[in-house]
């Protein structure tokens, strides 16, 4: 897998104003509205060509910023395109726990209504971000019988890793961690990932070096658990040609590290590809993007534009200011 770097990016739907895109050299030609930068070849390609290339991978990570609807629409586009090419495609989701698998199977199998499923998995408590962002993906999975695997663990697990450490973590929480986890907190192949994580954490107020180290333990626990469940999906469905599309926050796959690094420790034979979107109203000319860190933040960087909120999204209104009790003096 090619090395990748990261920022939190967004995916966007089609149908937008065209842009001039200098320097493209692909035969197919990129969509000037939504070009994809191939960070290895250092050229722009089309979304269609991207999907064709992704079809050859065992695991495809499609990053997201959780509350940007455009990300999820583009995830849906990749899902639909790859599923047309491979009916054995399955999905791995950060948003669900592996313990919720029977409920996910009941929903995508058409045996359980959406409302009942959301109530049963405690969506608000388990994930918390508004469901309308994810509805198109889950609707497609249900209607097309694409199996969805929960990759995550309860938040109490990663919180316990940070607050209790190896010795203090209770057995019920330690159960979720793959064997040998504590010996793999720091590995050489994630040196840059850890550096990025610390640099990001430093932007938060009152974060000490000690706390950043503990926070990295939590991040590593998340990544290890999700990696283990990705590999488990290949064991649960041992058919040839199975492909896993992973729906996950961008920070879990940046630089091809995080989850991909941990998957590689378990299954070196799996080909993994990371797609990172970049939401922008403009597209960089090739001679500029080649000089930017952005060009190295994913195997493929998808330049996309902002999208409107999803149908059914209810944003809370700021509280109205009460009228003054007395007339202002000025």
Q: What pLDDT does 316 receive?
A: 58
Query: In this structure, what CATH number is given to the domain that contains residue 262?
Result: 3.40.50.11550
Of 191, 250, 195, 192, nearest to 223 by C-alpha is 250
Number of Cβ within 10 Å of residue 132's Cβ equals 15
Q: Say if 237 falls within a structural domain.
A: yes
Q: What pLDDT does 29 receive?
A: 66
Q: Say if 102 falls within a structural domain.
A: yes
Q: What pLDDT does 148 receive?
A: 97
Half-sphere exposure of 173 (CA within 13 A, CB side): 20
Domain that holds residue 121: 36-304
193 and 264 in contact (C-beta within 8 Å)? no
Number of Cβ within 10 Å of residue 35's Cβ equals 26
Rounded to whole angstroms, how far apart are CA atoms 170 and 118? 29
Of 253, 296, 303, 301, nearest to 5 by C-alpha is 296
Q: What pLDDT does 317 receive?
A: 52
Q: Which residues of the chain have pLDDT under 50?
A: 2-27, 318-330
6 SS3 class: coil
Q: Say if 16 falls within a structural domain.
A: no
Q: What pLDDT does 18 receive?
A: 30
Report which secondary-structure segment, H or E, holds 96: strand 89-97
Q: Say if 22 falls within a structural domain.
A: no
Residue with structure tokens 């500029």? 288
3 and 190 in contact (C-beta within 8 Å)? no
99: tokens are: 């313990």
Q: Say if 131 falls within a structural domain.
A: yes
Q: Total structural domains in the chain?
A: 1
Q: Say if 96 falls within a structural domain.
A: yes
Q: Enter the pTM of the model.
A: 0.86
Q: Say if 292 falls within a structural domain.
A: yes
Of 311, 316, 280, nearest to 133 by C-alpha is 311
Q: What pLDDT does 11 receive?
A: 32
114 SS3 class: helix
Q: Say if 179 falls within a structural domain.
A: yes
């Amino acid at each position: 897998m090619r090395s990748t770097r990261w920022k939190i990016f967004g995916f966007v739907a089609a149908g937008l104003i065209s842009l001039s895109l200098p320097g493209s050299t692909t035969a197919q030609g990129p969509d000037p509205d939504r070009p994809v930068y191939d960070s290895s070849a250092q050229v722009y390609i089309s979304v269609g060509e991207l999907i064709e290339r992704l079809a050859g991978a065992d695991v495809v990570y499609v990053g997201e910023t959780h509350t940007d609807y455009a990300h999820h629409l583009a995830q849906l586009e990749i899902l639909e395109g790859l599923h047309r090419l491979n009916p054995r495609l399955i999905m791995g989701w950060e948003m669900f726990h592996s313990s919720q698998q029977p409920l996910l199977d009941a929903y995508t199998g058409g045996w359980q209504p959406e409302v009942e499923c959301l109530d049963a998995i405690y969506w608000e408590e388990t994930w918390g971000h508004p469901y309308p962002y994810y509805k198109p993906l889950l609707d497609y999975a249900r209607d097309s019988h694409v199996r969805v695997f929960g990759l995550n663990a309860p938040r109490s697990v990663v919180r316990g890793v940070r607050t209790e450490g190896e010795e203090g973590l209770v057995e019920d929480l330690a159960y979720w961690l793959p064997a040998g986890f504590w010996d793999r907190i720091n590995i050489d192949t994630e040196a840059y990932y850890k550096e990025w994580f610390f640099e990001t954490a430093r932007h938060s107020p009152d974060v000490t070096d000690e706390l950043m180290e503990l926070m990295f333990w939590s991040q590593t626990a998340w990544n290890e658990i999700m990696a283990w469940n990705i590999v488990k999906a290949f064991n649960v469905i041992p058919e040839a040609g199975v492909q896993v599309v992973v729906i996950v926050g961008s920070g879990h796959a940046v630089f091809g590290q995080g989850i991909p690094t941990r998957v590689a420790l378990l299954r070196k034979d799996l080909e993994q590809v990371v797609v990172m979107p970049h939401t922008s109203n403009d597209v960089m000319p090739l001679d500029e993007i080649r000089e930017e860190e952005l060009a190295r933040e994913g195997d493929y960087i998808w330049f996309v534009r902002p999208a409107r909120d999803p149908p059914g999204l209810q944003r809370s209104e700021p509280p109205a200011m009460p009228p003054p009790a007395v007339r202002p003096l000025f």
